[in-house]
Amino acid sequence: MSTQQRPAVRRRLAALAVAAGLVFTACGGGDSDDDAGTDDSSEQDDSGSDDSGSDDSDDSDSDDSGSDDSDADEPADAAEAVEESGEDREEAIDITIAEEENTDPVTGGTLRYGLEADVNGLNPTASSLSAPGITMSFAVFDTLAASTTDGDWVPYLAESFTPNDDFTQWTVKLREGITFHDGTPLNAEAVVVNFEAQRAHPLVGLAVKPYFPEEGATTVVDDLTVTFTMLDPNANFPTALTGQLGLMASPTWLEAALADGSLNQAPVGTGPFVFESRSEDSVTRFVRNDNWWNGEVYLDAVEFLPVPDPDSRTELLFGGELDALQTTNQASVLDLTEDGSIQNVLNDASEESFAMMNTASAPFDDIRARKALTLATPVDLYNELIALGVNRPAEQMFTPDSPFYNPDVVQEHDDIEGAQALVAEYCGERAGDENTVLGTPACTDGKINIELQWSGPSTVQTRIAELLNESWTEAGFNVTFDELLQDEHVSQTAFGQYNVNTWRQFGATNPADDRVWLMCRNIGGISLNWPRFCDEERDAIILEIMATPNPDDQVPLWQQLTEKINQDYLYVFFNHTLWDNAFAENVKGVCNRTAPGDPEVTLKCSSNGANWFSSIWIE
């Protein structure tokens, strides 16, 4: 690898120097939605949606898969796409790696993949799987359904999905002859065991319990057929089974993991790779499954290495010590897309990055305090200095090219005087209320006391925190910082032990799967509705969307919903996350996934920062 400084690296250093001058310290402002904030962890794990996301949850793109691009042209196209200012870009970035013609895959080799963080386990029924966890899971597990490049879904482990007339029941028929890596058969009973294990878990179950009856949620029809019964009509239920909720684990392993929690680190699925070893925060290794039900697997092994610092991760790829990586760090994206030797899978129609407020306690139980913080947030400066102008600014959960986008929604921001007036009004009436997170009065000397929490350690996250703090302090907030390791950050958020934090969320392929972050029924001692904000009218809109099979008929409902979210001042949207899954030039087949038995139907090769490995080979 050359040690010559790349142009994009020089741009990054120049931008940070400008930031140091404009922001009040040389180390200027950071959030947990890096890479620029690796707090994707919980947010949208595809589990809660998703999954999410999250995975996740999956991204809400409807992509043409970039199949017209050649490998030779792709890096230049990627560079051109991200060089255009995010503010000026009207269409989504959706660039994949075109399939090479007249080339035969070869077997062998180990793919070394750089993750933005590690996770606390790889059990889809018990672990909070962020983008890194979902990525590793896609190597060892398969899902019941899969997302296509045109935004639709197809059966995957399942052979078919059949709804009843009102979409309150879905019958799932499995493919015959599939076994888990330990020899346990994939059958209807295995699906029920996975579902009940997810439902029983105190966190993962929050995405499941509120939507199914306590009794009769599943019925085994025969050895390969199971029926799901829901509390509400769900016209697109299979989309929820394309992420964490659809990952199928061996029932034998799940039972053993209940008795021995360490087994959560040694997953057993039906996927293209078999678990071999794992050293947390070091290396997780999977080896080829020679008996994979869906065809030939080319790589000998895949190794996952968590590298939290995005600059280090990028340099390891340039230096040949990694073969691939995931990142949302804008400076890294500029570097990677500018280098002609790197292949980039880019998509910005996925999650949104934002600051998020807890409405369950003072001060943000009062809309005046929430609006004041929104007005005080330097969104423009954030996108200039932190996002480097790469990401498209966001004002809602949909990108402008989405059919569900509401052009009438405008997020207020960068209005210090307006914020100061609201702070004065709030503290004039509620100064004596208790901020239970800080253990202080809501206001001190006419200023609102708040804690800003993010996941770290991360230089970028810290830079964002300082950038936000400068404007928030000017507007009349006393800001206390709380940097936590990612797992603790997610836990504190779930328990409501925060005032405001930085987050990354939404972006499900079917946005109705993001309901788990929004509905009243997802609030409790532990919540997935992180802001803990309940609005029965909002819930009614979501339920109507779920029952509506035609996306065209959903448009006015989504626009109504985004208007309500905007008026409630729960989130201060920064931008639409741009994910880059980057690969060395000798890595092939990244986007060659097709539906089982139907090579004409292409499947997504990346989703909210995660990607699949069954079709990859090394030249």
What per-residue confidence (pLDDT) applies to 66? Answer: 34
For the chain, percent of residues with pLDDT exceeding 90: 77
N-terminal to C-terminal alpha carbon distance within the chain: 19
Report CA dihedral (342, 347, 350, 356) to the nearest 10 degrees. Answer: 60
What per-residue confidence (pLDDT) applies to 93? Answer: 67
Mean pLDDT of the chain: 87
What per-residue confidence (pLDDT) applies to 278? Answer: 97
**Pairing state of beta strands 587-588 and 594-595?**
unpaired
- What is residue 8's three-state secondary structure? helix
pLDDT class for 91, splitting at 50, 70, 90? low
Cis peptide before 185 (omega within 30 of 0): no
450-479 pLDDT, tens digit each: 999 999 888 889 999 999 999 999 999 999
Q: Bigger pLDDT: 157 or 40?
A: 157
Which residue in 524, 587, 559 sits closest to 105, CA to CA? 587
Contact between 615 and 273 under an 8 Å Cβ cutoff? The reply is no
User: Helices (DSSP H) in 61-212: which residue ranges?
Assistant: 74-83, 131-140, 188-200
Which segments of 105-189 are extended strands (E)?
A: 110-115, 145-147, 153-155, 158-163, 169-174
Q: How far is CA 6 from CA 75, 95, 340, in A?
A: 15, 22, 12
Domains and CATH numbers, the chain: 110-323+586-618 (3.40.190.10), 351-578 (3.10.105.10)
pLDDT(72) > 50: no
Q: What are 370's two structure tokens?
A: 């929430």
pTM of the model: 0.83
97-122 pLDDT, tens digit each: 766 665 799 999 999 999 998 998 99
Token match 């052009």: residue? 407
Distance of alpha carbon 468 from alpha carbon 374, whole angstroms: 11
Distance of alpha carbon 52 from alpha carbon 85, whole angstroms: 27
148-195 pLDDT, tens digit each: 999 899 999 999 999 999 999 999 999 999 999 999 999 999 999 999
What per-residue confidence (pLDDT) applies to 102? Answer: 59
What per-residue confidence (pLDDT) applies to 129? Answer: 86
Distance of alpha carbon 23 from alpha carbon 262, whole angstroms: 45
221-263 pLDDT, tens digit each: 999 999 999 999 999 999 999 999 999 999 999 999 999 999 9
What per-residue confidence (pLDDT) applies to 52? Answer: 32
Distance of alpha carbon 248 from alpha carbon 391, whole angstroms: 35
Q: Bigger pLDDT: 164 or 73?
A: 164
386-445 pLDDT, tens digit each: 999 999 999 999 999 999 999 999 999 999 999 999 999 999 999 999 999 999 999 999
Contact between 552 and 334 under an 8 Å Cβ cutoff? The reply is no
Contact between 87 and 393 under an 8 Å Cβ cutoff? The reply is yes
Which residue in 215, 23, 224, 195 sits closest to 124, CA to CA? 195
**What's the whole-number mean pLDDT along residues 473-502?**
95
What per-residue confidence (pLDDT) applies to 366? Answer: 98
What per-residue confidence (pLDDT) applies to 44? Answer: 40
What per-residue confidence (pLDDT) applies to 99? Answer: 64
What per-residue confidence (pLDDT) applies to 21? Answer: 29
What per-residue confidence (pLDDT) applies to 2? Answer: 32
pLDDT(274) > 60: yes
What per-residue confidence (pLDDT) applies to 596? Answer: 97
Contact between 145 and 603 under an 8 Å Cβ cutoff? The reply is no
What per-residue confidence (pLDDT) applies to 78? Answer: 65
What per-residue confidence (pLDDT) applies to 449? Answer: 98
Task: Sheet with 273-279: list strands edge to edge.
Answer: 94-95, 342-347, 579-584, 324-327, 110-115, 301-306, 283-288, 273-279
pLDDT(448) > 70: yes
Sort 149 into a burial class: Cβ within 10 Å, 0-12 / 13-18 / 19+: buried
What per-residue confidence (pLDDT) applies to 8? Answer: 38
pLDDT(361) > 90: yes
